Amino acid sequence: MPFSRNGLLVIGAGGMGLAIARRLGAGRRVFLADYSKDTLESAANSLRDTGHDVETQIVDVSSYESVKKLAKHTTSTSTLNTVVNTAGISPSMGTARQIFEVDLLGTANVIDAFLEVMPFGSSLTTVASIAGALYSSAITAELEQHLATAPKDKLLHHANIDLEGNAGVAYGISKRGNIVRVQASVKKAGTKGIRINSISPGVITTAMIRSELESEAGENVRQMVKTTPVPRAGSADEIASIVAFVSGPEASFVNGADFRIDGGYVASTRFNAPAGASEAT
C-alpha cells in the first residue's frame, strides 16, 4: 500500500465513529478499526460510497498487543495526525468485567500505544460520557488517582473495581477514568507535541442509546431527555462537529480538556437538583 501523508484513525465504527469519519475524512486516508467485522464493513462501505479512501482493521482495545499492532500499521502507512477513540460498551451491552476491560483499560491501551508513535502536531481524542461527571462524587480521591495514573497492567486491580459487580457502576467508574486518564497524559503528550482531549456526550441517538432505551434503564434515559435544558437527544453529527474542532488547528491551544455535549444536563443537575439528591444517581 502506498504511503499517504494525511491519516485519520477512528476506533469504533458505530454511529458516532461513522459520523466522525465522514466529517473528518475528506482528502485523508481513513483507517477504521472495530472489534466487529460486520460493523466495520458496513461503516467502511458507507464511506466508500461517498468517495472516501478507507482501510479497515479488526482491533480488540482490551488487548494492548492488538492496539499496538494497529498503531504500528496506521503510522507506518500514513502521517497519522488524528486519532479518535469511540470504542466502548454500555451497561445494557455487557457485564461489569467487559465494561472495565473495553471502556477503562481499552482507553488506557489506546493512549499508551498511540502517544508512542503519533507525530508532532497531532491530536488524540477519546470519547468518554457524562456518566464520568455524574458518578464523580461517588469516587474517592484515591480511586481517581489510581484511574488516572496506574500502569495499565494494574489498572483493573483495585478494591473498588469489582469485575463481577454492577454494570452501571462499572460504566460510571470507567468513564470517569477516561476523563482523568486523558488529563494525566497531557504532560507526556505535550513533550511529543501531541494534544489529547476527551469528549463527554450526553444522550446521543446511536445504537448504544437505542440498546439502553430497550433495557431496564430505558425509563431513566427517557427522563434524562425530558429534563435536559435542551429537551432532546443529540445527534452523532453534533459530536462529530465538536471532534472536528478539537482535533483541528483552531483548537491548537486546547489540551487536557473534557468537552461535555449534553444539552446542559449535568450543569442543571448540579444547581437545580432536589435537596439531598446525589449526582451519582
175 is catalytic: yes
Task: Answer yes or no: are the C-beta atoms of 6 and 78 closer than 8 Å.
Answer: yes
Catalytic residue among 171, 187, 188, 226: 171
- Ordered DSSP codes for 192-256: TT-EEEEEEE-SB-SHHHHHHHTSTTHHHHHHHHHHSSS-S-B-HHHHHHHHHHHHSGGGTT--S
d(CA 246, CA 262): 17
Catalytic residue among 35, 64, 175, 265: 175
Contacts of 38 (CB under 8 A, 6+ apart): none
265 is catalytic: no
Residues marked active site are found at 171, 175
